[in-house]
Amino acid sequence: MSDLSIFRYKLTRYEFWPWYMMFIPVLPVYFYGVFHTRKLLYFTAVNPSIDMGGFFGEKKDDILQLIPQEYKVNGIHITDAKTKNEFLELLSANNLSFPLVLKPNVGERGDGVKIVRTIDAVVDYAQEEDDFLIQEYIDFPLELGVLYSKLPNERGGVVTSITEKKFLSVKGDGSSDVEKLLKAHPRNRLYFELVKADFPDRLRIIPKKGEEYIVHYIGNHVKGTQFLNGNNHISEQLHDTFSKLGKQVDGFFYGRYDLKVRNYKELAEGKDIKIFELNGVSAEPGHIYDMSNVFKAYRDLSIHWLMIIKISDQNIKKGVKTTPLSQFIKQVKAHFFNN
C-alpha cells in the first residue's frame, strides 16, 4: 500500500483524522460556554475531584482511587525501581498473576500500554517507566467506554455514549497466515508494521477457517481497535446503574468509564463490572468514530460540550474554582513540551 493510497484511505475515514480536525468545528460551542459562564477555562470545574477536571495530565492512580473497590480492577502503583524478587513478592502480596497490564500513570490514547506474561517483562518495563500501574488482565469478551454525565443540581445522571471496542483481528480462511490476512484488508493493513514490531511471531500463525483471530488485545485506536456504536444498549436500567455508581464517586460529574464486562445484560445490572480507567472532561463519546456520518459526529460532540457547559456552570455557581490560567499554561508546557 503506497503512501498516497494510505493518505487517501485515511482522508476518507474520519476515525484517522488528527484530533483537532474533530474539535475545530465544535469551537463555537466552547466559546458559547466562555460567554455563558464568564470563565475561559470553565470546563476545568466540571469534575472538582480531578485536577483540571481531567482535561489532560491527570494521574490514573489518583482517579482510580475515587472508584469503589467492588467496581475496579485489582492493581498497584509503582513509583520506584525494584528487583525481580521484589516485584514477585509485591505481585504475590496483591494477588496479581500473569498476564498483567502495564501502563504509564500519566498518558493518553493507549501510549505505553502493554500486556506482559513474565516477570522479566515487568522488570524491563520498569526500566523504561518510573511511574506506572500494574493491573490484572480481565479476560471478559466486552471492552467498553461508557460516558456518563450528571448535573450537580439533579439526583441522577445519564449514560450518553457506549463505545464497543473491536480489537484488531482477522478472519481465517484455513490456509492464509496472519500477515497475508492483514494485508488483504484495507484497514488492517495500516497496522501491519505495528504488529510486525510488537508480535512478529503472530504473523506466521494460520487461523482456522472462519476463526476470528485477535491480533492485538489492547483496546486503543493506535493499536488497531475499532470503535463501534453501542448506544442501542442504553436503557433506563443502565442510567440507574451508573447513577448509583456515580453517587459513590465524589466530585465526578462527567467522564468515561473504560471497563470490561461479560455481556450487556450484566452491564445494565451492574454485575461484575471491571473498571480499569476513568477519564474526565476530555473524554470523547467514542461511538462517533463508528464512521456513520461526520456531521452526526460533530453534532454529538457539540451536544456533549453543551452538557459540559451546564455542569461547569452549576459547579461554578456552587463555588467550584476553575484552574487559574497561569497554572493551566504551566501544566500545558510541562506536559506537552518537557517530555
**Distance in angstroms (rounded) separating the CA atoms of residues 221 and 290:** 12
Taking every pair of C-alpha atoms in the chain, what is the biggest distance, in angstroms? 65
CB-count exposure of residue 216 (10 Å: 0-12, 13-18, 19+): buried
Residue 285: is the preceding peptide bond cis (ω within 30°)? no
Q: Is residue 234 within 8 Å of residue 123, measured between CB atoms?
A: no
Which residues pair with residue 171 across a beta bridge? Answer: 212
Helices (H), 169-319: 178-184, 192-198, 236-247, 264-269, 294-317
**Distance in angstroms (rounded) separating the CA atoms of residues 277 and 329:** 26
Q: Is residue 181 within 8 Å of residue 170, measured between CB atoms?
A: yes
pLDDT digits (tens, 9 = 90+) for 56-66: 888 999 999 99
pLDDT digits (tens, 9 = 90+) for 105-118: 987 766 789 999 99
pLDDT at 26: 96
Amino acid at 133: L
Q: Which residue has the cell 500519566?
A: 106
Residue 339 pLDDT greater than 60, yes or no = no
pLDDT at 139: 94
What CATH number is given for 74-137 in this structure? Answer: 3.30.1490.20
Q: What would the DSSP string read from start to end of 166-183? A: E-SEEE--SS--HHHHHH
Domain boundaries, the chain: 3-72+139-166+226-336, 74-137, 171-210
pLDDT at 1: 60
Taking the alpha carbons at both ends of the chain, their separation in whole angstroms is 33
Three-state SS for 247-275 is HCCCCCCEEEEEEEECCHHHHHHCCCCEE
Residue 253 pLDDT greater than 60, yes or no = yes
Q: What is the CA radius of gyration of the chain?
A: 21
pLDDT digits (tens, 9 = 90+) for 121-151: 999 999 999 899 999 999 999 999 999 999 9
Residue 208 pLDDT greater than 90, yes or no = yes
